[in-house]
Amino acid sequence: MHPISALPLESRDTFWRTLQTFCMTRILITVVLLVYFGISAIRGEQASDRFADWQTCLLYLLLAIGFGLMSAYVKRRFMLQLLTQLVIDIGAISLLYVFAGGARSGLAILYLFPLSGAAILAPLVIALFFVSIVTLVLLGESVYQTFTSMADVSPSQAGLYGAAFFAAIFLINRLAARLIKQEALAAQRGRDLQLQEAINRLVIADMGDGILVVGDDTEVFAGNPAAERMLGMSVAYGRPRYKLADLPALGPIADAFAAWRKGDSLRMAHDGSSSIYVTVKPVGGNTRGNTRDGRRDLASHLKLRFATVEGVGLTNDRTVIFLQDVSEIENQAQQLKLASMGRLTASIAHEVRNPLSAISHAASLLGEDALDPTQKRLLNIVSDNVVRLNRLIEDILKLSRKAHAQTDPVRLAPFLSELVSELGATHKMAPGLIRLEDTAHLQVRFDPLHLREIVVNLLTNALRYASGRPGSISIHAVLPTANRLELHIQDDGPAITPEVRAHLFEPFYTTSSKGTGLGLYVARELCLNNGAMLDYEYRTDLPGGGQDAGEPSGRFVITFAI
């Protein structure tokens, strides 16, 4: 056994606690002896011969209390305190043993208490030394009783006690030494584990990618600062407070997690196809405080990757969700795309628009002299296609003009009312076809011309698919958080399928034979240029649209930063 000074701090504390327990046990044994002598005195069993026992026990009790206080408040010189206590223990027990009549008293078993303490707290040599002293005391007392003509006393009994003490103390010492080594090893492993955990937390906290640890029921157990910034919420480590499925803003992550669990996760992991892209609006409604080319991030476009935590003996599964914000990557790609689009715009404006004007003018002149119905029909086809190409050129030219945004305060109520009235007169709509919810006292900072173009584009699409009944198109504003405003535009027509939704805002993508595929793309770019966001969402928590209550309905959502 090593000296206590050479042991780790945890093992030293264990030694001192064991010594304090040793002292408390000594006090308890002394009290029991006093009770025993008291009962014997009451019964009148050799009361006159017990005076020395009483004195010894009382003195022993006072010393035991002093040792207990010293071990608790003076944690120095451990070995000196232990040796002093062992000497006092053996001396006091020896006096009691002799006064009680030696082997006939049966008090020899009390020696096991100090000897066990020596075996546990002292090196083996010291423990065996005290066993030798006790054995010599037992043998000496036995020889003395033999010489005083006590026929019922035999030195062999003392020898058996000594042999038993030697065997017991050796076994206890070896077991204690093994336990001390195991404790030192466990303490070292614990320190290594704490160090590794501290390193892991530091690395995870410094990562640019977000990390969420969730259970099977989407309960969030842990997360790093990057995930908190992306999602706009705080995560208490190891103390779940909510589920992903309970927060509407985190619904896309919960849906992606459910889809991943339903699929063949092993196959997805091997194929490298376990990544899912979602758009999440911050839970707290806070933007991340950074702007990119005047575009404020009202939502995070995240790349999700899932990994199951596997380990022996784990009763509850945990899944680690890695979140990577790809908004910056998309922004860079967007800049490259806009640069290419600018060059294309200049080329189209110069090379196509002038010949197109000549074709349109020539078709108009031919139309003045054309009398044959076949010729008129062919000229109408030419005119329609000229108009379509001219609209395509106008949409492309808007991409280069959109950078010049003048963000002024716009009150939504009068702005939308005037816009709906003009649209009704232009398209000859039935009264009440567009239902405008109360948007009083709401205003946003937006370029009025850009906002007008966006809303007209969305309403024109809605007119194409709505049923035409009164209120089949609705416009309503929602305040999900204190610093975010959403404008919802929806109709009672069929919702856009997820397959079409995936390509909805891509340039030149259209499902209509008369469309150019640039309307929604330009609308989203105008929103981004004004610090807003346009998206198509499936909601169940808002009225309108003609769908049954609780059934998801699709609508275009413009999100403004207030």
Q: In this predicted model, what pLDDT tens digit does every residue of 242-283 receive, in sequence order?
A: 788 778 778 888 888 888 888 754 444 444 446 788 878 776
Angle (CA) 499 504 507, round 5°: 130
* Residue scoring higher pLDDT (278 or 541): 278
pTM (2 decimals)? Answer: 0.52
> Residue 456: which domain range?
404-561
For residue 195, is it within any domain?
no
Residue 478 CA neighbour count, 13 Å, CB half: 18
Looking at the fold, whether 174 and 128 belong to one and the same domain comes out as: yes
The answer to whether residue 304 sits within a structural domain is yes
The overall longest dimension of the chain from CA atoms, in Å, is 159
Higher pLDDT among residues 307 and 310, named by residue: 307
250: part of which helix (H) or strand (E)?
none
> How is residue 278 written in tokens?
């979602």
Residue 52 sits in the same domain as residue 153: yes
- Do 312 and 185 lie in one domain? The reply is no
Distance CA 153, CA 10 (A): 48
Burial class (CB in 10 A: 0-12, 13-18, 19+), 95: middle
Tokens of 178: 């093994």
In a shared domain, residues 427 and 334: no
Query: Can you tell me which residue has the tokens 């966001």?
Result: 533
Which of 401, 423, 444 terminates a domain? The answer is 401
- Integer CA distances (angstroms), 7 to 1, 10, 185, 260, 531, in order: 10, 8, 11, 51, 64
Residue 140 lies in a domain: yes
CB contact set of 188 (below 8 Å; sequence gap of 6+): 8
Residue 119: the pLDDT is 87
Which pLDDT score is estimated for 489?
92
175/27 Cα distance (integer angstroms): 25
Flag whether pLDDT at 286 surpasses 50. no
- For residues 461-466, give the mean pLDDT: 86
- C-beta of residue 91 within 8 angstroms of C-beta of residue 59: no
Judged on CB neighbours under 10 Å (0-12, 13-18, 19+), 372 is: exposed
Reported residue count of the chain is 562
Alpha carbons 508 and 505: distance in angstroms, whole number? 9
Q: For 38-85, write each residue's pLDDT tens digit.
A: 776 676 655 445 556 677 888 888 888 888 888 888 888 888 888 898
Instruction: Determine which of 191-195, 337-341, 498-502 has the lowest per-residue pLDDT on average.
Output: 337-341
Residues 153 and 256 in one domain: no
Which candidate, 232, 244, 230, 234, places its Cα nearest to that of 324?
230
Last residue of a domain, one of 401, 433, 466: 401
Q: Which of 131-135, 190-194, 273-277 has the lowest mean pLDDT?
A: 273-277
Range from 193-197, 208-212, 392-396 carrying the lowest mean pLDDT: 392-396
Q: Which of 88-92, 163-167, 446-450, 506-510 has the lowest mean pLDDT?
A: 506-510
The domain boundary residue, chosen from 370, 401, 432 = 401
Chain mean pLDDT for the chain: 77
pLDDT of amino acid 293: 42
**Number of domains making up the chain:** 4
457 and 483 belong to one structural domain: yes
Q: Given this model, what pLDDT does residue 537 score?
A: 84
Residue 370 has pLDDT above 50, yes or no: yes
Q: Are residues 71 and 185 in the same domain?
A: yes
Average pLDDT (439-457) is 85
The answer to whether residues 168 and 248 belong to one domain is no
In terms of domains, do 418 and 428 share one?
A: yes
Residue 198 lies in a domain: no
Contact predicate 533/299, CB 8 Å: yes
Least confident interval from 180-184, 265-269, 497-501: 265-269
Q: Are 314 and 334 in contact (CB under 8 A)?
A: no
Do 266 and 355 fall within a single domain? no
> Mean pLDDT, to the nearest integer, of 328-345?
70
- Rama region for 124: left / alpha / beta (φ>0; ψ in -120 to 50; rest): alpha
Does residue 196 belong to any structural domain of this protein?
A: no
Question: Residue 251 corresponds to which tokens in the numbers above?
Answer: 């619904």
Report the 10 Å Cβ neighbour count for 374: 8
Reply yes or no on whether the pLDDT at 426 is more than 70: yes
For residue 159, name the pLDDT band (cuts at 50, 70, 90). Answer: confident
Burial class (CB in 10 A: 0-12, 13-18, 19+), 44: exposed
Q: What are phi and psi of 505, to 5 degrees?
A: -105, 15
pLDDT for residue 542: 47
Would residue 201 count as lying in a domain? no
The crossing angle, in degrees rounded to 10, of helices 373-401 and 327-351 is 130
- What's the pLDDT at 488? 92
Residue 424 and residue 494 in one domain: yes
CB 308 within 8 A of CB 265: yes
Per-residue model confidence (pLDDT) at position 266? 45
Residues 39 and 102 in one domain: yes
Looking at residue 460, which CATH number applies to its domain?
A: 3.30.565.10
CATH of the domain at 214: 3.30.450.20
Task: Count CA within 13 A, CB hemisphere, residue 223.
Answer: 26
Residue 174 lies in a domain: yes
Q: Decide if 17 is inside a domain.
A: yes
269 is written with which tokens?
A: 């992991």
**Separation between Cα atoms, residue 20 and residue 85, nearest integer Å:** 12
Residue of 415 and 384 predicted with greater confidence: 415
Across the range 111-140, mean pLDDT stands at: 88
